[in-house]
Amino acid sequence: MIELLASTGIHVGELVNLNIDDVLFSERECVVLGKGDSERIVYFDAKTKIHLQKYLESRKDNNPALFVSLRKPHNRLGIPGVEKKNAKTWDGSKNQKNTSA
């Protein structure tokens, strides 16, 4: 999830609206629905592709959402779920000091 956000630069609100069908692995791209229902294509790197494919292979649900909750009934992950799941990662990066001066 973090990989996709970092690789594409999409917003969390756009991430939670992605469906599996929005991702085209052969082209390493996905169709993102932005403000005003405008669609745009964003591209992700090879590392993100591998992580996404492994994640999808591990899922045992039929939800069309790209990212779902870990517990049944595996509902679409919302913005609060993404923020909660990644809070430690984001806090760690915010608290790191820039030592390259």
- Decide if 7 contacts 1 (C-beta within 8 A): no
6: how many CB neighbours lie within 10 A of its CB?
A: 13
Give mean pLDDT, residues 44-73: 95
Quick: pLDDT tens for 23-41.
999 999 999 998 888 999 9
pTM value surpassing 0.95: no
Return the DSSP state at 19. B
Q: Give the pLDDT confidence of 74-93 residue by residue, as tens digits.
A: 999 999 888 876 666 655 55
- Say how far apart CA 22 and CA 30 lie, in whole Å: 5
